[in-house]
Chain A
Amino acid sequence: MLIRWAFAAAVALAPLGAAAGAAAGAEVPRRVVSINLCTDQLAMALAAPGQLLSVSALAHDPRTSLMAEQAGDFPANHGRAEEIYLMRPDLVLASTFTTPATLSMLRRLNVPVVTFEPEVSLDGITASILQMGDALGRADQAAAMARDFRRDLAALRRAAGDDAPVAATWAANGYMTGTRTLSSDVLRAAGFSLLAERLGLEVGAMIPLELLLMADPDAVVVGPSGSAPARADDVVHHPALARSGAERIEVDDREWICGLPAVLDLARELGSTRARLSGQTGEPSR
């Protein structure tokens, strides 16, 4: 895990040159613009007052952002090179998945850009916190946050019992997330074992409802109902799923879309559901 982090960080930082140097050295960025939902939220948690100029519009949307209220203090941007350049930033925070055209345009305009890998594990969150601390010149605050996070995570993992009920995530169009995703890691930390593991899914895939039912998981983790209607969601509400006897657990996407320390709150909540399920089934470990 550590090796992967080191590799990811090296890849993320390699093309930055000036930006990384400025962040690590004496020069602390004063005009920081974040253009990715996840860097938005981590930056809001770590930045010094006045350091952050703008966050993305998604961070203002309570459907996707856990920090929509705090985001209200910052003007929204839409991740377009032109509007970002006009803000005269001395650092732009982005994801490695941000549109390459935008990133290369910003670099051509000599705007320093730091990119963050999307989180695929809980341990990766520590790495991102530290990377954000370096980029913002807030290494001490980041180290403290990372320390607390590691402590809480270790406590959570100790609390997970031996009996691990099988959980499966299940979303629109029958999409199941794979083992190498943050949501799977959160479920593992909460003490579940994963159906995706048995199916050999690493990233995730559309799974026919039939296969989900035949695998007979103890819990199915779905998004909340009540968003805009779409036929793609029908399969999440299929009557056969309701009759299957699997516990239906609803998790808001925004809770684990980004690797923030707050995912541990969700993991604790899932952990108590898991404890109840373990008590109910009364089966020894499967």
Chain B
Amino acid sequence: MSNRALLAALALLCAVLFAASVLTGPADAGIRDSLVALFHDDGGPLTLVMREIRLPRAVLGLMAGASLGLAGAAIQGFLRNPLAEPGLIGVSASAALGAVLAIHTGLAATAVLALPLSGLAGALVAVALILGIAGGAGQGGLEHGRGGSFGLILAGVAVSAFAGALTSLVLNLSPNPFAASEIVFWLMGSLADRSWAEVWTALPVMAAGWALLVFAARDLDALTLGEEAASSLGVNLSRLRLTIVLGVAAAVGATTAVAGAIGFVGLVVPHLLRSAVGGLPSRLLPASALGGAALVLAADIAVRLILPERDLKLGVMMALVGTPVFLHLIHRIRRGA
């Protein structure tokens, strides 16, 4: 399949899933009624549900999935390691900590962008830390290959556990009696009952992240030849590093701040699409963004079909899909493939 056909197919898949997401929900209205209510305001409650609950939920799913898919593909391209994924290396957990601190100190209420920017700040600490440990372009660090992969994952486990523990601590210290029940949301992620307010606050920060990562795509292509070859081709490795760090932190940070930590998207999607794009990062990035959006939309439909009246967390679906892929990848790396 040509690259253009692949992107078109993925875009079509996203469109279908987007429509299905808008039509899925606990309020059992017919497809026809729902669509009529969506496009024509009859003053009834169904219009309100379609426009103020279903539509922002689907849009947020699209944005979150695209951010996570893109971030996963970019960081894997940079580290040349298929296990590098924002959730696994602790970026999502740290972003959640940043967002939780902002909400519970009251900072989030002071400015429109305070919440996604706090998510970004949390994510930034983790990305910088992980890249510092795992090395990567221009820094030496852990060797690429077996040791590198497992060093990266272990560092990620440590960062995740630390950030998760601090998140629990902050939520348990809150005088609000419901704060502690939020821990699940921050660990597993959910798009339930979000509004346009979350869409508009997250979008600017996410979009900045997308722009940075797309801007880095060409340099990532060169990096597939190795660091020295990339340098000789005129790639500024330290600038590339900074671009990736900021781009991943913005995309994942803003996503996590409004939807919680949704894991495995950035692992599964690039893995499935890598061979279809010939392993070239500049092609993998847009394909992963579309694939990530499709995966999150599909998972968000599934949680509403399985338990329509409860808020089943997205992380449950993601783990069902993600864990087998993760184990398969580990198996392949151990065999030295």
Contact = CB atoms under 8 A, between A and B. Distances in A.
A239 B309 CA distance: 20
A70 to B, nearest CB: 23
Contacts of B179: 228, 230-232
Contact of A208 (B26, B29, B106): B26
B27 A228 contact: no
Nearest to B105: A229
B224 interface: no
Most buried by A among B45, B46, B176: B45
B325 interface: no
A229 B193 contact: no
A240 B53 contact: yes
Contact of A231 (B46, B185, B311): B185
A230 B49 CA distance: 24
A264 B185 CA distance: 38
Nearest to A210: B27
Most buried by B among A207, A228, A235, A244: A228
A229 B109 contact: yes
Interface stretch (A122-130, A179-187, A211-219, A271-279): A211-219
A231 B26 CA distance: 22
A211 B193 CA distance: 11
Contacts of B175: 227-228
Given A230-B178, A231-B103, A238-B195, A214 B185 contact: no
Contact of A233 (B108, B176, B310): B176
Interface residues of A, number: 27
Contacts of B174: 228, 230
Contacts of A230: 103-104, 174, 176, 178-179, 182
Interface in B92-148: 103-104, 106, 108-109
B310 to A, nearest CB: 7
A29 to B, nearest CB: 32
A209 B193 contact: yes
A243 B52 contact: yes
A208 B48 contact: no
A243 B103 CA distance: 25
| Chain A interface SS verdict (over half) | helix
A48 to B, nearest CB: 34
Contact of A211 (B26, B192, B195, B197): B26
B309 A234 contact: no
Contacts of A207: 309
B77 interface: no
B26 A228 contact: no
Interface in B174-200: 174-176, 178-179, 181-182, 185, 192-193, 195-197
B48 to A, nearest CB: 5
Contacts of A232: 176, 178-179, 181-182
A232 B181 CA distance: 8
B281 interface: no
B25 interface: yes
Contacts of A234: 193
B260 to A, nearest CB: 9
A142 to B, nearest CB: 31
B193 A235 contact: yes
Most buried by B among A207, A210, A213, A216: A210
A173 interface: yes
Contacts of A206: 309-311
A174 interface: yes
A172 interface: yes
Interface string B191-222: 01101110000000000000000000000000
A235 B182 CA distance: 13
Contact of B53 (A172, A173, A213, A231): A213
A198 B234 CA distance: 69
A235 B109 CA distance: 15
Contacts of B27: 208, 210-211, 213-214
A210 B45 CA distance: 9
A210 B176 contact: no
Contacts of B103: 229-231
Interface in B17-45: 25-27, 29, 45
23 contacts: A172-B178, A174-B193, A208-B309, A209-B53, A209-B193, A210-B25, A210-B26, A210-B49, A213-B27, A213-B45, A213-B48, A213-B53, A214-B27, A214-B46, A228-B176, A229-B176, A230-B103, A230-B176, A230-B182, A238-B52, A239-B52, A240-B52, A240-B195
Interface of A: 172-174, 206-211, 213-216, 227-235, 238-240, 243-244
Interface of B: 25-27, 29, 45-46, 48-49, 52-54, 103-104, 106, 108-109, 174-176, 178-179, 181-182, 185, 192-193, 195-197, 308-311
Closest 10 CB pairs of A and B: A240-B52, A232-B178, A228-B176, A172-B178, A230-B176, A230-B179, A214-B27, A210-B27, A228-B175, A208-B26
